[in-house]
Structure 1
Amino acid sequence: MYKLYCRSFQQVMKLSMFFLPWREPELLVGENSLSKLPNIIQREGLKSILIVTDKGIAESGLMEGLLNGLRALEVDFAVYDKTVPNPTIDNIEEALELYKATKCDGVVAFGGGSPIDCAKGVGARLARPDKKLPQLRGVLKVMKKMPPLFVVPTTAGTGSEATLACVVSDSNTHEKYALMDTALIPHFTVLDPLLTVKLPKHITSTTGMDALTHAVEAYIGKSNTKHTAQWSIEAVKLIFDNLYEAYSNGENITARTNMQRAAYLGGKAFTRAYVGNVHAIAHTLSGFYNVPHGLANAIILPHVLEYYGESAQKPLAELADVIGICVRTDSTEQKSTKFIQAIKDLNKKMAIPDKVDCINDRDIPLMIERALREANPLYPVPKIFFKEDMRELIKMIEG
């Protein structure tokens, strides 16, 4: 009966997707596309902008072109650079106070997934000033217009530049959860590959595997559509063709450009078709131990795909054909196995471990509870997991 409840809920959510007020960000794409953003901001009639970033980005010089462009056009700005990995409610509230104090009328997110989530959280609070962030947790709790949001990703992985999701960490409870609402989809997105060429190798690898996880989970889920399937297929192909090159040769602009497109397409796919149990486990792992989200996904992904067994073999076999690793005589099961092995091989080539060594056994019951609460009934996964499934998978990744 519980499985029937989950599947019925998921079917209703899938049908509702066709009636939601979707928008796609206006894209600025290509080398030096960041230079166009100040004019776009001025064109939108904005007078003062809050820029949400982190210390590393703020000190790297990556934002200087943007800041100089805003100064030249006499657009005021304030910079919030205290975002931490897995941004907290406190981060968002601090940034919100700066927005109000400096009388801003728009938000720029500049950085990886954490600054983007933080900026979306600010937008959610501005749209619903009567609600605290925990009250906006879940699906379609914002439902009101927020100020213009401009997103400048400096990694190629999270897909947050295309999605309706904002992931927040509660530093008091060590819980990580999502706000999901079409109001949170960015209005403008800048995909400038020059912003990613200096990424450390370990960030290139783990954010790239994050993008792969998005595309794969969207594709194998039961809410996949013709459009999300095509976006996922293109993303998976781009990642297998370009991620290792971007990791090995960070100055390769073509590889960097292709990875940005893959991350964007993966974001478009999963924001409509959802993710799955990989993310449910990864979020609780990050919430408890602050494991970077991309790294958590990269480690967990092959374990969950293997655990799905026959329920995911057909779509995984199709993805194996997409990346060209099969022979004509391979069975569906053999193709599926080869695809999972290709993920393991890519992880290994990029020095990503297959386990984590931070899990405390006393935390596992609560981790299981939180992972199940995230996954069920919302995620349209190939196989509904229960407590023992989650327990076994957490034990699998425990070093």
Structure 2
Amino acid sequence: MPKITTLIKAKAKLKAVQVLTYILPVSHPLVFAGPNSALNLCDNIQQLGMKKVLIVTDAILLNLGVIHPLQDKLEQAGIQVTIFSEVKSDPTFDVVEKGIALFKSSASDSVLAVGGGSTIDTAKVLALSAANNKAPKQLIGILKACKPAFPLFVVPTTAGTGSEVTVAAVLSDNQTHVKGLVIDPKVVPLATALDPVIMQGMPPAITADTGIDALTHALESWVSGFATQETDFYARAATKLILENLVLAWQDGKNLAAREAMALGSHYAGLAMNKAAIGYVHALAHQLGAKYGVPHGRANAIILPHVLEFNREASQKRLAKLAREIGLTQTANDREATELFIQRIKTLLTELQINTQVQGIQQQDFPEMIEAAFNEAHGMYAVPKYMNYADAEQILMRL
């Protein structure tokens, strides 16, 4: 276990965070779902009176022509469109600052994010920073902004992060690549489109990684000490949708029914995460991203089975309950139900052909990684059971 004094401080901070999650009002975006719902979102942007929209995306989506139908739809409605396509995976402060400069120079009044979690997080912080005249780095932490963000609209192209509904955004430091969290209900978009047509071009590997990311959000929310009846509702639905549809979407990207189910699963997991938060899977996965550039979804997939095993006893009743409620088993034996559930997750990773090893991982990096993971988790995440250094080291050694 961590030092007693450290744990006492962490638990006191955790209690304050829990109270904050209960009393803080969090809005839900208006949701358009189904094929071509992204075009309906464009209608909504026009209906709300927006005149100059900055589209935030990446160069790949722009070159593939994904942005063109949305741009055309907006321009036909008399809306001026400017495109910022410099988003990269794990966006840094300087990327957001470039977007803010373009937002201001184009006199935009709103932001439309089209992309995965990195794009949406970039757009969230951009809209909040521009409205508050604060540098992105100044917003790292909880409730650092005073004014509402500029109007933000989101079209996710992956079913994974749930960022279109969450109160958080992740950015990396330009030099160290250490990840920081911006946590503020003001970053929740006004509206989002869960459009399977937009998602059908997602490659199988990204479909797998982002799908496991969404599943991790659902599972960590389910076993969280912050879990409520409401978050359980969302986490249970997300888990069932993902387990039933992820392999189908991975096998056939043009299976629009599976794509839409995955989009909804990711969305529900994001709603659960808003209140229940996450845990050690994310805390350790963030370190694999910072140190070795492992994409976030893949990092979660790598860590997830190890943390499930670590929490097996502490989460047994909860995981057994989930296994029964999603129809995985009817056994009344909690130990047996938990074993079936954990094996189901491991089988899923095998079916998706996810490589759960980290190339080039070095034991000399472990102390820094573990310290950073504990700094993130302790006092912020209501984990079922606290890790000590040896626990975390053992997990990293298995990679």
CA distance in 2 between partners of 1:304 and 1:18 (Å): 27
Residues 1:108 and 2:112 are matched in the alignment: yes
Match of 2:99 among 95, 99, 117: 95
CA distance in 2 between partners of 1:354 and 1:327 (Å): 30
Q: What's the counterpart of residue 133 of structure 1?
A: 136
The alpha-carbon deviation at position 158 of structure 1 amounts to 0.6
- One-letter code aligned to 1:378: M
Question: Residues 290 and 171 (structure 1 numbering): CA distance in 2 closer, same or farther, change over 3 Å?
Answer: farther
Q: What's the counterpart of residue 16 of structure 2?
A: 12
CA distance in 2 between partners of 1:23 and 1:48 (Å): 24
Report if the CA contact (8 A) 2:224-2:277 is conserved: yes
CA RMSD of aligned residues (A): 1.4
Q: What's the counterpart of residue 22 of structure 1?
A: 26
The 3-state SS of whatever aligns with 2:82 is strand
Match of 1:391 among 381, 390, 393: 393
The alpha-carbon deviation at position 310 of structure 1 amounts to 1.1
- One-letter code aligned to 2:19: L
- TM-score (normalizing by structure 2): 0.96
Q: Which moved more, 1:69-78 or 1:135-144?
A: 135-144
Question: Residues 143 and 280 (structure 1 numbering): CA distance in 2 closer, same or farther, change over 3 Å?
Answer: farther
**Superposed CA offset, 1:7-27 (max 9, x none):** 333233222222212100011
**Superposed CA offset, 1:295-330 (max 9, x none):** 11111111011012311111111222133333425x
Residues 1:323 and 2:323 are matched in the alignment: no
1:32-71 equivalences under 5 Å are 32-71=36-75
CA distance in 1 between partners of 2:286 and 2:192 (Å): 25
- One-letter code aligned to 1:371: A
Q: What's the counterpart of residue 316 of structure 2?
A: 313
CA distance in 2 between partners of 1:139 and 1:200 (Å): 35
CA distance in 2 between partners of 1:122 and 1:328 (Å): 49
The 3-state SS of whatever aligns with 1:199 is coil
**Superposed CA offset, 1:11-53 (max 9, x none):** 3322222221210001111111111222211222211111110
Report if the CA contact (8 A) 1:247-1:350 is conserved: yes
Q: Which moved more, 1:41-50 or 1:388-397?
A: 388-397
Q: What's the counterpart of residue 339 of structure 2?
A: 337
- One-letter code aligned to 1:212: L
Report if the CA contact (8 A) 2:97-2:136 is conserved: no
CA distance in 1 between partners of 2:360 and 2:151 (Å): 39
Report if the CA contact (8 A) 2:324-2:331 is conserved: no
The alpha-carbon deviation at position 143 of structure 1 amounts to 4.0
The alpha-carbon deviation at position 61 of structure 1 amounts to 1.2
Gapped regions of structure 2 (runs ≥ 5): none
The 3-state SS of whatever aligns with 1:309 is coil
The alpha-carbon deviation at position 355 of structure 1 amounts to 2.0
Percent identity over the alignment is 39
- TM-score (normalizing by structure 1): 0.96
Match of 2:369 among 357, 367, 370: 367
1:243-258 equivalences under 5 Å are 243-258=246-261
Residues 1:378 and 2:394 are matched in the alignment: no
Report if the CA contact (8 A) 1:372-1:387 is conserved: no
Match of 2:164 among 145, 157, 161: 161
**Superposed CA offset, 1:199-257 (max 9, x none):** 11001111110000000000101000110001000000001111111111222111111
Report if the CA contact (8 A) 2:128-2:150 is conserved: no
CA distance in 2 between partners of 1:327 and 1:39 (Å): 46
The 3-state SS of whatever aligns with 2:398 is helix
Report if the CA contact (8 A) 2:41-2:192 is conserved: no
Residues 1:142 and 2:145 are matched in the alignment: yes
The 3-state SS of whatever aligns with 2:314 is helix
CA distance in 1 between partners of 2:17 and 2:94 (Å): 31
CA distance in 2 between partners of 1:387 and 1:139 (Å): 27
Q: What's the counterpart of residue 262 of structure 1?
A: 265
Gapped regions of structure 1 (runs ≥ 5): none
The 3-state SS of whatever aligns with 1:50 is strand
Q: What's the counterpart of residue 355 of structure 1?
A: 357
